[in-house]
Structure 1
């Protein structure tokens, strides 16, 4: 049978579809490689997308916490008017204070807010109160210093919704209350009733002796439902009475309290001298507030306080309306904290982001190296760079794009309350880098057809002119950027040069080390050649020319180690700052003191505290604040000084053990003149008193003192100005505080002992003070991100090391097989691979530690550790002696781990190669 020749397709016919498409064939050929690449892209996309969302989330929580935690007197926006003037009719004046008119004005206030400034209906309020408290004329009310209580009459809306009646009933406005009404009903809170002795049915007469009096009948006692809410806490006397003082010397103390009237009883205040004042208080809603709303919110507040918003309120409510709030100050505090934290977090973002890009590029390089022969064959048979690059791009995109999309979805599910735009952009950037890594590396490496079997090491593959020029250009740019950063400082936030400092320093180190790395190894190989055995010489010679030591692996390791070292140093510095602040706040591991550290302790207090489990030592001190120093004819005011009186030996031992102003005990013991007390003083006190002897008048007695030592700090007081003397030589010896040391002080037992002693004793533990500095979500979120960044950096460092070793694994396996045929033992083979991997690992470890140390020195002036560590506790003692410095463990541990990991990988590789026969590795015609 004669076979007919196949006819050629016509010009209009379609080309037959290939039986095995390229992408499907490649994925079926190497499914493990594709899966590993997909996992790498998925994890990288997840981290890249989760980072901006995590920053948004903790900033949003931090803003809400800052606004919610601020005192209501700062966060609430209050609109007030002077009250009805005397020019209008009496009916109009009374109508302006009734609940209907106030509610209508309240709606206008809410309409004037707009934007992100919204009100919480349950905590916002409006009403009328007396601007001038009225004295209560009844003699049965308590009168400290013979001054009658001063009552603020408040007619506020929503009393029934915000309180629970414990006795009697709520007040009512019977009939039509006018300015001529002389008797009204009121309620008081339980704390007011208990303190002032008020009961249901009590009658209180308020008003001046020379003015009209108003009779107030108490119809009920109420308990606030939410005492800490804005409704009750904005006016400090609304929920509980307080003490006030009259001007003059000496001042007289009196009680201040509030009487809660019915809302429609406000017109009765016009008949008093209390200057009734309408008000509308808006509690800001924080549930939907985000950090991105801060600029607009600040503008809205500025417009309401002194701008178009205030003009509209004047037009709609009253021409004399005034808006007061410190919410803009609260937002300023948040912005200041965020500005201190953001640059530190950005350093982690730049460092880990750069490491991730380098590792993904290394993965593409590994795939390109493994398929070098395949791509070289395609090029030799006429394959174009565009065709090869397009096929490789399609091949990687099929894996990278779905993996990046899945990583984005996981990040969105894992982190809520955040924007999605930046996360999408970050995941898209990861997908783009992942898709381009293999095609770019392949196209660059196969610009011209390559000869099969060429060596790829630093001996023959010498850098060309273009690479030299590119490296010099990058080196000059990086050095210039670092120099500019060093000259201008780190306070300029106009660009991201500060945050990119680790990347720039690591780039400089990587370029320099890659160029200089082979030289010392080649010099060391020469004397090693004269030693017995070939293992040492072979390891040094191969390490000096191995292609595994390239710029990308070294850059990845340097970046990861530098970021881990910097992050560990920041976290260690934050912990040191908080530990220092806690020590300054307590003065020891625990502190038992009387009220204000000035009231004498009960007898037997020191003995009772010593018996508490975990207590090692107890130092009794007598503290006197606001000590007056002799003026000595100076015009300036003397500094506020704290006097500390203690036993010289015990107090000197305490200061030495705490490393807080250590001084010799002899500095407090009597000198040549036993009538003169020798003292340890702060620099400010020493400068004020100067040399010589000075007479001090204190509550503890009058004495003459001379300065024997000067120290910056002392354990007993947190103030920076102090004077420490021997307490046994004072006229009036009365210890007021106990400084307790001990590794495991039982706080519950210590508080129980203080309660048994009686008196109003305060117990403060150093551990509790330390834990109180981490309440801010902004700080806690930044620390969690940095901890995660350190972990991610360590993971990428391990991956970079593995990729660099995997790239040279086939060539090393072949080498071992060849040397084994020449008599190399299995133990010598393992030693060879271990010694060969050791110099690159040492180079990366030393370089990473050096880059981390340089980065810390470069960025230390711009890192505000005090604000980063203590912004959640603004009332703590100032800690100005804490700065960012290199933490030895943060630099040494990751570097040591890299060396150990490299040795372990080399050992595993040698063990695996030893299990395989030499025949499988040495095939005829193989040029590896």
Structure 2
């Protein structure tokens, strides 16, 4: 045949079989999209979560701060080389250059300046004492530090006066004893309006700062945007605050008002005479610049800046003892640890989706191979070589798969923009390669030798080859080894993605499918026995046809269903465990529907009454509390005084340490009955114990041990009846104290509760917590929400692909089934009997897969459950004493739900197929062979 008369193979195949070509393109488009979208979405949600964590940390939490070492600054004059805007800016540029990639800095948010670091003597109070006309009187006078922070890009909005001028007073002669001389006159300052109001400062007033300096207030400004970087350098330029200090050798705490005041370059020159002064530079990250995949490199750079080569260069280059500090590294470390704990969840979901996608792709290629079986048998009979056929089929499939994969990957890149495309493109290329190679291999698998036409072996009569047996035993051995390893060591101690966890669901699903195909003849034969003795041929015919499929073809749909059920059951168990862990964590923080508590004093009686009158509050449980009693040498425990009946009902309702109220009732004689935490119970034993408490000396005996209780704090505890405690306190002290904890039951509005508390005496020392708000807070982590969303999306995609696998398995037998139904209709088969026949033929594999998938899920939960950190997933990892452990519990609904859903969906698909065959294809099947 001349080149001119040759027929192009690919073009001819597309024209001859457009349906198969379109199906391959469509499926590779879907799988290519999923393969490219998953890594893109993983990057996107991790980047969003990191950006949210950094934004929540504020400027100080996402910045590198470079400042003078305190000791060196106190003893050196080198700080004053930065007391000019030019020198400060020059150093700012040089230090910025020391911070390398991937730390991308926000130059517009950088701040630099000088501020005083005065500490009083003998009391270690921060700042310079402020006195003068109108200054608010109190036990301690207000104290301020001076800040010079030049920023040409930032304008301070003045409400009174002007900004301080650059003129500076001169310094007087030093005293004979070496005391620095006082400035010759006042320097100028400006404060915020809230500081002026609280301290009682007036514009133009002259105030004494410390023992020797005077300052004149020339400006009062208002802070419009407290979140602006200019006001977030760790100083109190925007508003005053109250600081506390506990002097040595005393337990009393001294509170004093504190603020910072802005000054000019003239005031900066005076700082050296007032006390220790530090130069500082803040370098915040640009919002959204740091990506999750850059965390490792960022932490290495931060380590170099704070305690490495860059830190040495900074210290040697600048002789003012400069060093870098940052809160960014602990934040990144915490984020990385949480991401590593969440990795098993996302990898299991992604692995399940990838496995089912590969199975569906192979099933479609198998369907195409079945449609072209006669064509390839004829070509082989006419002398076509396997290499020649393989090359032509590879070119054909490469074109189909290339078009679909390119469209899918392009859609993923367009819809899910991300900073990294390499993983997405690699995943899409892997899909293309798998489809391009698997298609010709699948087509030629049964044509290694020229074969005559004949009937293929069915599931019931198939005799597996030795090669298949060895391969199946290898898979089973690998699955058993992986299960034992995971059960023994849990997840990878190094954290992150564990290949064993990723491959485990695939191996379990494949092993389950292999065993199910091996065992499939037994249940089919058992079901066939009673059908032989019943009237009617529908059940017998359907079950007989259920075992007529190819043994190799039966493996793929079973594998898809088992993988989907395994991933779905595991995911349902994880989500159920996360919900329970969050509920446990929220209850550990609140103890009831809401909580009002204080540690410093008793709650005011008016507050107790007002809380009980809130709308939605059904009951209020008051609890007497004494904290931090010694338990041995280092441990501490709390005394909780409760009303036995109502408190026991509350404990049973919330599920935290339920007990019989009769155990706490005291008859007026002997020691007080006590419920104790395990540590206290072990320490006290069964003997009567004496406790020296604020209520007086107490004699108690532990009558029961409970692991948790609604009113507990962070310590171990002893629960005692309240009435004897109050009587002992009255007898010992002559008065009784009120409760320190209120546990509220009902639909509590958190905003209304906080409003009531704010109006009560001593409100500043009272804390409130609402159960619904704590649940929302625990569920509000962007990283946890993103990982859960990825897993749910993977489960949904896996379920849809599984449904497609069921559809393809039905479609493979659809031509023969439609011919059979059409012929049986001519013999009197009714529509209802047709439905019954198709259901009887199609549902046994699905039913067996549902049962096997449920059993696999039952096995997967303990095998993979050890790799799941419920504390990290639920946000309760940082809570002390909650008891959220690793691992999952087996529950009925997450295990049975996916299997039941699969059966329902399969029945719907089968019914739809029966309706389609019955209404549209009878005439066509009866006219087979007619000339058209």
The TM-score with structure 2 as length reference comes to: 0.89
- The 1-side partners of 2:928 and 2:654 are apart by 74
- The 1-side partners of 2:718 and 2:770 are apart by 24
The one of 162, 168, 191 aligned to 1:169: 162
- The 1-side partners of 2:329 and 2:305 are apart by 11
Q: Secondary structure at the match of 1:691?
A: coil
* Change in CA separation of 1:87 and 1:452 when aligned onto 2, cut-off 3 Å: closer
Instruction: Report if the CA contact (8 A) 1:81-1:277 is conserved.
Output: yes
Aligned to 2:87: 101
- The 2-side partners of 1:444 and 1:773 are apart by 54
- The 2-side partners of 1:538 and 1:717 are apart by 67
Corresponding position: 1:693 with 2:688 = yes
Q: Secondary structure at the match of 1:570?
A: helix
- The 2-side partners of 1:304 and 1:394 are apart by 55
The one of 3, 10, 14 aligned to 1:15: 3
Moved more, 806-815 or 914-923: 914-923
Q: Secondary structure at the match of 2:3?
A: coil
Instruction: Report if the CA contact (8 A) 2:784-2:873 is conserved.
Output: yes
Aligned to 2:247: 247
TM alignment of 1:543-558, pairs within 5 A: 543-547=546-550, 550-558=554-562
Aligned to 1:517: 520
Aligned to 1:52: 39
What does the per-residue CA deviation read over 1:101-143, in whole Å, with 9 as the maximum and x for residues that have no partner?
2222222111111212233334332222222234426276446
* Change in CA separation of 1:225 and 1:293 when aligned onto 2, cut-off 3 Å: farther
Instruction: Report if the CA contact (8 A) 1:365-1:437 is conserved.
Output: no
Aligned to 1:224: 223
Q: Secondary structure at the match of 2:49?
A: helix
Aligned to 1:6: none
The one of 777, 781, 789 aligned to 1:776: 781
What does the per-residue CA deviation read over 1:149-176, in whole Å, with 9 as the maximum and x for residues that have no partner?
4432222233982642222222222157
Moved more, 893-902 or 554-563: 893-902
* Change in CA separation of 1:597 and 1:407 when aligned onto 2, cut-off 3 Å: farther
Aligned to 2:487: 486
- The 2-side partners of 1:269 and 1:757 are apart by 43
TM alignment of 1:847-926, pairs within 5 A: 847-870=852-875, 874=878, 878-881=882-885, 883-915=887-919, 921=925
TM alignment of 1:317-396, pairs within 5 A: 317-318=318-319, 320-396=321-397
Aligned to 2:732: none
Q: Secondary structure at the match of 1:346?
A: helix
The one of 119, 123, 147 aligned to 2:105: 119
Q: Secondary structure at the match of 1:504?
A: helix
- The 2-side partners of 1:502 and 1:883 are apart by 16
Aligned to 2:645: 649
TM alignment of 1:26-425, pairs within 5 A: 26-70=13-57, 72-82=59-69, 94-133=80-119, 134-136=127-129, 138=131, 141-142=135-136, 144=138, 146-158=139-151, 161=154, 163-174=156-167, 181-182=183-184, 183-208=186-211, 213-239=212-238, 240-248=240-248, 249-251=250-252, 252-272=254-274, 274-318=275-319, 320-425=321-426
Corresponding position: 1:682 with 2:683 = no
Moved more, 656-665 or 569-578: 569-578
- The 2-side partners of 1:264 and 1:138 are apart by 21
After superposition, the CA RMSD in angstroms is 3.1
- The 2-side partners of 1:171 and 1:358 are apart by 75
Aligned to 1:562: 566
The TM-score with structure 1 as length reference comes to: 0.89
Aligned to 1:708: 703
Aligned to 2:178: none
TM alignment of 1:753-832, pairs within 5 A: 760=763, 763-820=768-825, 824-832=829-837
* Change in CA separation of 1:643 and 1:188 when aligned onto 2, cut-off 3 Å: farther
* Change in CA separation of 1:763 and 1:345 when aligned onto 2, cut-off 3 Å: same
**Alignment: residue pair count:** 894
Instruction: Report if the CA contact (8 A) 1:619-1:650 is conserved.
Output: no
Corresponding position: 1:582 with 2:593 = no
1:147 Cα deviation after fit = 3.7
Aligned to 1:572: 576
Instruction: Report if the CA contact (8 A) 1:578-1:869 is conserved.
Output: yes
The one of 642, 656, 659 aligned to 1:660: 656
Instruction: Report if the CA contact (8 A) 1:347-1:499 is conserved.
Output: yes
- The 1-side partners of 2:659 and 2:320 are apart by 65
- The 1-side partners of 2:601 and 2:852 are apart by 56
Instruction: Report if the CA contact (8 A) 1:162-1:226 is conserved.
Output: no
1:58 Cα deviation after fit = 1.5
Moved more, 905-914 or 437-446: 905-914
* Change in CA separation of 1:745 and 1:456 when aligned onto 2, cut-off 3 Å: farther
Aligned to 2:11: 24
Aligned to 2:122: none
Instruction: Report if the CA contact (8 A) 2:870-2:884 is conserved.
Output: no
Instruction: Report if the CA contact (8 A) 1:577-1:879 is conserved.
Output: no
- The 1-side partners of 2:79 and 2:532 are apart by 108
What does the per-residue CA deviation read over 1:623-672, in whole Å, with 9 as the maximum and x for residues that have no partner?
4352424x6xx5x1341x3333232111111111111111111122114x
Instruction: Report if the CA contact (8 A) 2:36-2:428 is conserved.
Output: yes
1:557 Cα deviation after fit = 0.9
Instruction: Report if the CA contact (8 A) 1:594-1:601 is conserved.
Output: no
Q: Secondary structure at the match of 1:621?
A: strand
What does the per-residue CA deviation read over 1:837-886, in whole Å, with 9 as the maximum and x for residues that have no partner?
22211111112122222222112122111112217x95687442574223
Instruction: Report if the CA contact (8 A) 2:73-2:276 is conserved.
Output: no
- The 1-side partners of 2:472 and 2:324 are apart by 61
What does the per-residue CA deviation read over 1:353-392, in whole Å, with 9 as the maximum and x for residues that have no partner?
0110111010000111122222222222223323333333
Instruction: Report if the CA contact (8 A) 1:78-1:282 is conserved.
Output: yes
1:728 Cα deviation after fit = 3.0
1:702 Cα deviation after fit = 5.1
- The 2-side partners of 1:623 and 1:882 are apart by 34
Q: Secondary structure at the match of 1:497?
A: helix
* Change in CA separation of 1:270 and 1:825 when aligned onto 2, cut-off 3 Å: closer
* Change in CA separation of 1:85 and 1:65 when aligned onto 2, cut-off 3 Å: closer
Instruction: Report if the CA contact (8 A) 2:63-2:284 is conserved.
Output: yes
Instruction: Report if the CA contact (8 A) 1:99-1:264 is conserved.
Output: no
Q: Secondary structure at the match of 1:136?
A: strand
1:795 Cα deviation after fit = 0.1
Instruction: Report if the CA contact (8 A) 1:620-1:736 is conserved.
Output: no
- The 1-side partners of 2:355 and 2:75 are apart by 73
Instruction: Report if the CA contact (8 A) 1:602-1:757 is conserved.
Output: no
- The 2-side partners of 1:80 and 1:652 are apart by 56
1:243 Cα deviation after fit = 2.0
- The 2-side partners of 1:237 and 1:696 are apart by 46
Unaligned runs of 5+ in 1: 1-8
The one of 503, 506, 511 aligned to 1:503: 506
Moved more, 917-926 or 341-350: 917-926
Instruction: Report if the CA contact (8 A) 2:573-2:894 is conserved.
Output: yes
TM alignment of 1:432-471, pairs within 5 A: 432-471=433-472
Q: Secondary structure at the match of 1:244?
A: strand
1:918 Cα deviation after fit = 6.6
Unaligned runs of 5+ in 2: 120-126, 172-180, 730-735
Instruction: Report if the CA contact (8 A) 2:605-2:738 is conserved.
Output: no
